[in-house]
């Protein structure tokens, strides 16, 4: 989806906020992508970026093996903005000084503009709050640079060389705690790089439709339709592009939530007239998962079985050489890139078999979840689909910590239905990124009716997030937690204990496996 008006490349130096930088650029309606710092400069320039942003990073520029970049990038004529570590790298490579000071800056800090003309700070107040997170500091700007901002502790908090269009800020404009951060980014995007705000839901759809048609021609496509947000939007996009060349296949894995199969049938076949094949394969998935308790093996077993079912369905469609998937940008990042260690293999990324017979069509692969929802609304999908909470492709299998059995699936399915129902009753469904139940395949001792019980615990997981790259545990009201605990223990046979997960991401993940 490049060249949608303009493209900004975000060079990742291992930053906690690299994904957030890319999101903020897109929120300014400019297309952005994250790229590895190891990408050769020639390859970066071949993509004809309107500008390049260097992310922050956890390292010091002084340590052995510190992340770096080929200095020839500075003479390429492409505007550059360095953020935190990125600014320090710019200063060091171009002849400035970066020192290990005794006084770092962490958290909210007052920034004072020096009064020198600045492309980044034009029409902004002389004093503003910014968010700092650094130990090293730029103590002297390189030749040709002007210092445009400082703080009480740091003499060079922002610098720029307008002739070469190279800029650096020691703070983080991408985080919400920097009050005027988005305005600073927009000045770089619009005034320095000359970008146009053309990355909109309409342009995303137009370019996706064009790319899909170019990729598949007159061939038939199969779409793995789960009824979730991602696969539904992917199906709608592809259907807009190729119409009746698309056949949607709902694979009933037996790992779905309560009533989900019936809902998919009703919504897509009966209400929207989609050509839908319902492949009932629960027994096959349970067989593939028999005795498997390692989460990576679960995902790979599910991914391979999923594809094999598709291949069998495809025998009825001799010209079906393409498979549509709702893969998102966070899926790709979490499944492992040069600068993002593999956290878990998503069944639709790292879990696919190497000998797969289909060519993938992934129209959402470069989108974050909020962009997917916006596209879904633009395509006219109903609210109950667009705003469904995310559900993992491997389904309830990765919400059972341990081996998967029919008994455990049914217990978890009933408990999860109670969680969903109560969250909706409390009016929190749209406020939460996800809320669901987890079953841990161990048993705990309890007392019910004056008798000893030995049953499963259920863990309730509820989080808030913008894009699933980071998340915080949701502060659910005690009264709601009390209702959830009471209902699950009283209504779900085989459960005698309920816990609430208060772990953020990081260090945890949203899903337990």
Q: Judge whether 316 lies within some domain.
A: yes
Spatial strand order of the sheet with 359-361 comes to: 276-280, 246-252, 220-224, 320-324, 359-361
**Residue ranges making up the domain that contains 279:** 204-386
- Is the CB of residue 21 less than 8 Å from the CB of residue 4? no
Same domain, 60 and 159: yes
Q: At what angle do helices 229-242 and 369-379 cross, to 10 degrees?
A: 50
Q: Judge whether 98 lies within some domain.
A: yes
Q: What is the pLDDT of residues 468-499, one digit of tens each?
A: 778 999 999 999 999 999 999 999 999 999 99
Residue 449 exposed, middle or buried by CB count within 10 Å (0-12, 13-18, 19+): exposed
Same domain, 38 and 88: yes
Q: Which residue has the tokens 């945890």?
A: 508
pLDDT of residue 100: 76
pLDDT class of 449 with cuts at 50, 70, 90: confident
Q: What is the mean pLDDT of residues 235-260?
A: 92
Same domain, 117 and 210: no
- Is the CB of residue 170 less than 8 Å from the CB of residue 134? yes
Q: Point out the domain boundary residue: 322, 351, 386.
A: 386
Same domain, 358 and 484: no
Same domain, 380 and 483: no
Strand partners, 147: 159
Among 52-61, 284-293, 298-307, the range of highest mean pLDDT:
284-293
Q: What is the pLDDT of residues 313-367, one digit of tens each?
A: 888 887 788 989 999 887 776 554 444 433 334 444 344 556 667 899 999 998 9
Same domain, 239 and 354: yes
Three-state secondary structure call for residue 269 = helix
Same domain, 25 and 126: yes
pLDDT class of 105 with cuts at 50, 70, 90: low
Q: Which of 145-159, 313-327, 401-415 has the lowest mean pLDDT?
A: 313-327
Q: Judge whether 106 lies within some domain.
A: yes
165: left (phi over 0), alpha (psi -120 to 50) or beta: left
Query: Alpha carbon of 22 to those of 48, 182, 261: distances in Å?
Result: 17, 12, 36
Q: Strand 51-54 vs strand 7-12: parallel, antiparallel, or unpaired?
A: parallel
Q: Judge whether 66 lies within some domain.
A: yes
pLDDT of residue 333: 66
CATH code for position 331: 3.40.50.620
Same domain, 110 and 250: no
Q: Judge whether 347 lies within some domain.
A: yes
Q: How many helices (H) and strands (E) does the chain have?
A: 14, 20
Name the nearest CA neighbour of 248 among 222, 268, 215, 213: 222
Catalytic residue among 172, 239, 346, 347: 172
Same domain, 173 and 221: no
Q: Point out the domain boundary residue: 142, 163, 192.
A: 192
pLDDT at 4 exceeding the cut of 60: no
Query: Alpha carbon of 337 to those of 42, 288, 341, 344: distances in Å?
Result: 20, 28, 6, 12
> What is the rounded CA–CA span in Å between residue 242 and residue 249?
16
- Told to judge if 174 belongs to the known catalytic residues of this protein, a careful annotator would answer yes
Q: What is the pLDDT of residues 63-97, one digit of tens each?
A: 888 899 999 999 999 999 999 999 999 999 999 99
Catalytic residue among 105, 174, 362, 371: 174
DSSP string of 155-197, one letter each residue: S-SEEEETTTTEEEESS-TTSTTSTTHHHHHHIIIIIIS---S
- Told to judge if 134 belongs to the known catalytic residues of this protein, a careful annotator would answer no
Q: Judge whether 505 lies within some domain.
A: no
Same domain, 33 and 131: yes
Same domain, 419 and 381: no
Q: Point out the domain boundary residue: 192, 227, 250.
A: 192
CATH code for position 50: 3.40.50.880
Q: Judge whether 399 lies within some domain.
A: no
Counting the structural domains of the chain, the total is: 3
CATH code for position 442: 3.30.300.10
Same domain, 413 and 330: no
């Amino acid at each position: 989806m490049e060249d949608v008006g303009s493209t900004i490349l975000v060079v990742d130096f291992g930053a906690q906020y690299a994904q957030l930088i890319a999101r903020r650029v897109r929120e300014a309606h400019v297309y952005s992508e994250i790229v590895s710092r190891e990408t050769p400069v020639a390859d970066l320039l071949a993509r004809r970026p309107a500008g390049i942003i260097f992310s922050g990073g956890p390292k010091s520029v002084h340590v052995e093996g510190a992340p770096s970049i080929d200095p020839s990038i500075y003479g390429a004529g492409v505007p550059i903005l360095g953020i935190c570590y990125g600014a320090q790298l710019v200063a060091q490579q171009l002849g400035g000084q970066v020192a290990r000071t005794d006084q770092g800056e962490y958290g909210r800090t007052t920034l004072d503009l020096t009064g020198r003309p600045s492309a980044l700070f034009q029409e902004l107040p002389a004093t503003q709050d910014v968010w700092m997170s650094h130990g090293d500091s730029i103590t002297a700007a390189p030749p040709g640079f002007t210092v445009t901002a400082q703080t009480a502790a740091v003499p060079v908090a922002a610098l720029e060389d307008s002739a070469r269009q190279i800029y650096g800020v020691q703070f983080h404009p991408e985080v919400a705690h920097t009050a005027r951060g988005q305005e600073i980014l927009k000045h770089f995007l619009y005034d320095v790089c000359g970008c146009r705000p053309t990355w909109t839901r309409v342009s995303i759809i137009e370019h996706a439709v064009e790319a899909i048609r170019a990729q598949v021609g007159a061939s038939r496509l199969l779409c793995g339709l789960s009824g979730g947000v991602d696969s539904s939007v992917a199906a709608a996009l592809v259907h807009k592009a190729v119409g009746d060349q698309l056949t949607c296949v709902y694979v009933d894995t037996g790992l779905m939530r309560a009533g989900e199969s019936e809902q998919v049938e009703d919504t897509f076949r009966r209400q929207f007239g989609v050509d839908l094949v319902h492949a009932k394969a629960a027994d096959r998935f349970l067989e593939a998962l028999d005795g498997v308790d390692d989460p990576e093996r679960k995902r790979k077993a599910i991914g391979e079985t999923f594809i094999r079912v598709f291949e069998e369905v495809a025998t009825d469609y001799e010209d079906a050489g393409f498979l549509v998937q709702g893969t998102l940008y966070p899926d790709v990042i979490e499944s492992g890139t040069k600068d993002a260690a593999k956290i878990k293999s998503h069944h639709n990324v790292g879990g696919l078999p190497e000998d797969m017979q289909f060519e993938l069509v992934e129209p959402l692969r470069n989108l974050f979840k909020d962009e997917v929802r916006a596209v879904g609304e633009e395509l006219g999908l109903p609210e109950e689909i667009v705003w469904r909470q995310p559900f993992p492709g491997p389904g309830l299998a990765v919400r059972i910590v341990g081996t998967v059995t029919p008994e455990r699936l049914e217990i978890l399915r009933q408990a999860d239905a109670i969680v969903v129902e109560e969250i909706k009753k409390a009016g929190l469904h749209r406020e939460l990124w996800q809320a669901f139940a987890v079953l841990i395949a161990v048993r705990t001792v309890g007392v019910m009716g004056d008798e000893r019980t030995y049953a499963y615990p259920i863990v309730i997981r509820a989080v808030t997030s913008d894009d699933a790259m980071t998340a915080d545990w949701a502060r659910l009201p005690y009264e709601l937690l009390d209702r959830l605990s009471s209902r699950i223990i009283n209504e779900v046979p085989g459960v005698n204990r309920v816990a609430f997960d208060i772990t953020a991401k990081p260090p945890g993940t949203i899903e337990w496996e």
